[in-house]
Structure 1
Amino acid sequence: MRTIIISDITETEKSIIPYGLNIGKHTETRVDILHYFDPVLVHGTYSPVSDSQSITPGEKLSHEEILFREKETARAKIDWLLSREGSRLNYPLRINPTVEIADPDTGITEQIGKHNNPLVITGTKPSHSMVDSLEDLLTILCKTDAKILIVPPGKKFAKPAKCCLVTDLTSPANQKLKTLFQWITPLFEKVYTSAVVQLERNPRQKQQLEEWKQALMPYNEKLHSDASEVVRIDESGIAFESICRHKSPDMVVFPKNEKSHFSRYLFADDNLRRFSEKFNIPVLLY
């Protein structure tokens, strides 16, 4: 499997790249780092030398020159970060950084398409040189077969021990879940299941959760059969906060099934970013 990190190096000093490198180390995968500059989104910045999009007096730079300058700056920052983190990892991790001026949708989709079910890691604050928001980036990523790991800025890596797998019972145990557990098993000591449902609408949902969980048992011996619960909710946000407070997981895992009520809530109104940052918990979408 391949680990692909969407660079946020130009957006925040607390980059998620070190976290992603550690994931690559612990899953023993090659790592690609992608940073694309969308010509439509890149704007000039204030500097001693004026460019065609700034008001600072001085010699003007063309749009192409501005893009080249931004690309070289990002490449230098990534190289410096990799040099620093390489000694800390103390592991022969194979890393391939790509910094290009290109349409991010095309570039990211093509890179993901080269690999079978890769893991894509992004921060909650992706670079504005690529996309306007996390929601826009997820629109690109959810069209692929990749697993998506969303990490709060500056999240310190510690090998995760406890994972909470959330289901709305619309995603059956299938090949996607089997592949997911192949990735989860080396990382976590415990895996809990929670169902986000409304019992008053379907009294059989607790039984359905047990059936769903039993279907997963052959995939992972670490699945806790006594730790599943049905979260009774009026709003999906209450369920998410309940999981984070009472389970204290190192990672929360959700299906990226946009047809379900819960997934529609997660993808709306920047909710994924807000919750991940509020509880400082990475969120994995499969």
Structure 2
Amino acid sequence: MFTIGDFAKLGGVSVRMLRHYDALGLLPPASVDPVSGYRLYRAEQLWRLNKLVALKGLGFTLQQVQAILDDQVPVAELRGMLRLRREELAAQVAADTARLAMVEARLRMIEKEGRMATHDITLKQVAPLRVAELTAVAAGYSPEHIGPTISPLYPELMRRLDKAGLSPLSGPAIAYYEPADDAVLVHAAMPVAADLVPGHDFAVVDLPAIHAATVIHRGPMDDVLYSLQALARWVEQNGYRMVGYHREVYLDYLPDNPENGVTELQIAVTPA
């Protein structure tokens, strides 16, 4: 038999937590000394403590833990509960990873503030272009929302173009954006030579010519806001006004090596 202090050490928990589990009926001691009132535990009770701590760590409520420990939950239901919790934890990890990437991108923006040379920004006339496109709605305009929304659209667009017997032209892929209530409508486009006829499972549209301020963004799109904000500052400082959202022209799209990607950002402008 072990005192509550020794049992707590063996189980890697605190004495206070063992007292709490006892009060809830989750893990009562094997016996209580009638004279001293000391709680005494057996080594075989460690398996129940281990299960209790593990289930609690998975996010189950103490009521659920009690039912599982007392075999009140059928095996099939328990398996389903564990699978669901695993999926929830995986989603949480993915969300936290994306949030960390966003914070790191913002920190890089702060560190590089003011270091983009204005001679890297040019004004030019962008010719009209016919494209095939797919669209989807992103929850926001930041990279952590845009990236997961737009990435699947390009391979799906290529699949549909191939099914329709169309090949994209040799020009780079393009992305552009429109407001959609509190969200953003994302357009993933490829230049094509196709008629503006209905019946396809993708859209064929003509992008209008624009007078644009442009800059070359090098590196992953996680960092695109830095280049975009530098471009916006140039637009304001040089007496222009933005017209709508920007376009992204993927001059060198490297999904497996985004650090070496090259993207031209275009903002349609008009004199302020």
Quick check: TM above 0.5?
no
Higher helix share: 2
Tell me which interval the TM-score lies in, with the shorter structure as reference length: under 0.3
Higher relative contact order (CA closer than 8 Å, sequence separation 6+): 1
Q: Which TM-score applies when normalising by structure 2?
A: 0.26
Q: Which TM-score applies when normalising by structure 1?
A: 0.25
